[in-house]
Amino acid sequence: RQQAPRAGLFNGNGKPGEHYIKPKETLTTASGKPVGDNTNSITAGRRGPLLLAEDFHLYEKNVHFNRERIPPRSVHEKGAGAFGTFTVTKDISKYTKAKLFDRIGKKTEIFARWSVVAGEHGSADSVRDPRGFAVKFYTDEGNWDLVGNNTPIFFIRDPLKFPDLIHSQKRDVRGLRSWTMRWDFWGHSPEATHQVLWLMGDRGLPKSYRHMNGYGSHTFSLVNDNNERVWCKFHMKSEQGNESYTDEEGIALSGENPDLFNEDLFTNIQNGNGPKWKMFIQVMTDKQADEVPYDPFDLTKIWPHKEFPLHEVGELHFDRNPVNYFQDVEQASFAPANVVPGIGYSPDRMLQARLFSYKDAAVYRLGINHEQLPVNKPRCPVFNYHSDGFMQTQNGAGPPYEPNSFGGPAEDARYVDPAVPLQMSGEGKRYNHRADSDDYSQATALWHIMKPDEQERVITGITNTMTKGKGAGCKSDPVPKKIQQLNLYHYYRVDKSLGERLAESLGLDLKETIARAEKDLPKEVP
């Protein structure tokens, strides 16, 4: 099962029950020596102790077994992956010179990993949580990783708060998940209100990975052949439609089949029903970025579709299951820093932090040569002077330094980046990002597009998690009144009637809530 030729052993797209093709081959050790007995260890006499040094096969099996686990991802630990193809359907070359978009009909191999954010391996899929939606495009000019979520926004706008956010969503000192920790962090973070309202709505409990949209979420940049830059957001709309579970369904399904999403994806691909998404972009010019009443680089904000309509780009179709889960899904590594000529970063400070964080995580989890693993390996040639390190397989034959006199790879001025330099000014200091932010009006718009029955589910969902500590994916003690009030205050700021309905449902006095929240929230909160 272990060695390279096993690519033929498992047919990921075979019919159910026919996963394994079983060629008759002789079992071997890792070094290839045929094994004669895989049942009986060597012992000193029939009932005697083991002869461990002599029984190298027994030793090797144990040594390897003890090293099977690697560090898990610190977030998005549980997920599923698939290979597929991206096909360009509309011409966006006036915005970007990225080669993967250079003509209608162009096809690029892709791999995606979808994930639950807070849960660990083995935890349930049908939980209320954002979902990861990371796509690797193996382009002719290197890998482009669009490492997004199923939400267009996020809980925080400053990366200094990311570890705090994640600690509050994972396990407390008892090793238990806790609604108190979640609501406590969200209540102290007014900028989370928009994302939390989204999460408590129907889209916070998608029916499967196939039934949700994907978003690059951040603002990125696109640069065309004339080196003109626009700002851009990426959207991937599910062609299966957006469908959701209710809280009760989510809770029941967690017990019935914790691996629901992974199984759904795998079997649909296996049965020839691989999922599809349409890719769109929103585009904003520098001038528009100066004029909009919100910070277009703030990850807690969307760009309204009315002013910034969606432009179709192409289609993603996933039709190939990984040959082996550990090899392709667990060892997959994505990094927002991986862009290609024609696609660039933006000053979004969350994106900026992610540019360095993922490489570091991959080096810790998989090692310095993780980009040589088959799932991560670019499909275009790679030439550089990185040398050695654990598990090196592609040290070149040439000199390991540059410049050199032997014709090794050299820089090419056509690819200097950033292609369009960012204008920067101001003092380098810690600016209070809450001082002039509007954390409520986009949440108000979201509340108003929810249908009455969804609004009702939001109120019930929030009430259940706060007063009973009960909601899909987490059962805990009720949330203390003080923390309930802190959060109620934000919903009152989103919409007066939402605040009133929620206060009644929670059994809280609104006047007391407002007075207390205004005293307890940090001064800079508007």
Interface pick for ligand HEM out of 208, 224, 333, 369 (rule CB under 6 A): 333
Instruction: Please tell me the distance from the alpha carbon of residue 65 to that of residue 482, in angstroms, as a whole number.
Output: 49
361 binds ligand HEM (CB under 6 A): yes
Residues 250-279 that bind ligand HEM (CB under 6 A): none
Q: How many residues bind ligand HEM (CB under 6 A)?
A: 27
115 binds ligand HEM (CB under 6 A): yes
350 binds ligand HEM (CB under 6 A): yes
354 binds ligand HEM (CB under 6 A): yes
Calculate the alpha carbon distances from 204 to 113, 461, 489 in Å: 18, 11, 21
Nearest-CB residue for ligand HEM: 132
Quote the least distance from Cβ 233 to ligand HEM, whole Å. Answer: 11
Interface pick for ligand HEM out of 106, 365, 468, 481 (rule CB under 6 A): 365
Closer to ligand HEM by Cβ: residue 128 or 457: 128
Spatial CB neighbours of 317, under 8 Å, sequence gap ≥ 6: 84, 85, 86, 87, 274, 275, 276
Closer to ligand HEM by Cβ: residue 389 or 507: 389
What single letter denotes the amino acid at residue 102?
Answer: D
Q: Which two tokens stand for residue 170?
A: 């994972």
Instruction: Please tell me the distance from the alpha carbon of residue 234 to that of residue 137, in angstroms, as a whole number.
Output: 14
Closer to ligand HEM by Cβ: residue 337 or 510: 337
Orientation angle between helical segments 481-494 and 510-520, nearest 10 degrees: 100
358 binds ligand HEM (CB under 6 A): yes
Looking at beta carbons, which pairs linking 387-391 to residues 24 or more positions away fall under 8 Å? Answer: 391/367
Q: Considering only CA atoms, which of 277, 366, 272, 276 is closest in space to residue 321?
A: 272
Q: Residues marked as binding for heme?
A: 358
Q: Which two tokens stand for residue 196?
A: 């939390």
Stretch that binds ligand HEM, among 33-41, 102-110, 198-206, 346-354 (CB under 6 A): 346-354
Interface pick for ligand HEM out of 78, 88, 99, 132 (rule CB under 6 A): 132
363 binds ligand HEM (CB under 6 A): no
Residues 147-166 that bind ligand HEM (CB under 6 A): 147-149, 154, 159, 162
Quote the least distance from Cβ 442 to ligand HEM, whole Å. Answer: 16
Spatial CB neighbours of 176, under 8 Å, sequence gap ≥ 6: 476
Is residue 138 within 8 Å of 106, Cβ to Cβ?
Answer: no
Three-state SS letters, 155-186: CCCCHHHHHHHHHHHCECCCCCECHHHHHHHH
Stretch that binds ligand HEM, among 245-253, 266-274, 327-335, 488-496 (CB under 6 A): 327-335
Quote the least distance from Cβ 153 to ligand HEM, whole Å. Answer: 9
Residues 49-88 that bind ligand HEM (CB under 6 A): 73-76, 79
Cβ neighbours of 461 (radius 10 Å): 22
Quote the least distance from Cβ 426 to ligand HEM, whole Å. Answer: 21
Instruction: Please tell me the distance from the alpha carbon of residue 52 to that of residue 55, in angstroms, as a whole number.
Output: 5
Instruction: Please tell me the distance from the alpha carbon of residue 328 to that of residue 8, in angstroms, as a whole number.
Output: 15
Quote the least distance from Cβ 371 to ligand HEM, whole Å. Answer: 12
Q: Return the SS3 of 377.
A: coil
What single letter denotes the amino acid at residue 88?
Answer: V
DSSP E strands: which ranges in 117-228? 131-139, 142-149, 214-215, 220-223
Stretch that binds ligand HEM, among 142-150, 371-379, 400-408, 510-518 (CB under 6 A): 142-150
Stretch that binds ligand HEM, among 238-246, 350-358, 403-411, 413-421 (CB under 6 A): 350-358
Site string for ligand HEM, 192-231 (x = CB under 6 A): -------------------------x--------------
Which residues on adjacent β-strands are paired with residue 312?
280
**Would you name the residues annotated as active-site residues?**
76, 149
Is residue 145 within 8 Å of 134, Cβ to Cβ?
Answer: yes
Which residues are at the interface with ligand HEM (CB under 6 A)? 73-76, 79, 113, 115, 132, 134, 147-149, 154, 159, 162, 217, 332-334, 350, 353-354, 357-358, 361-362, 365
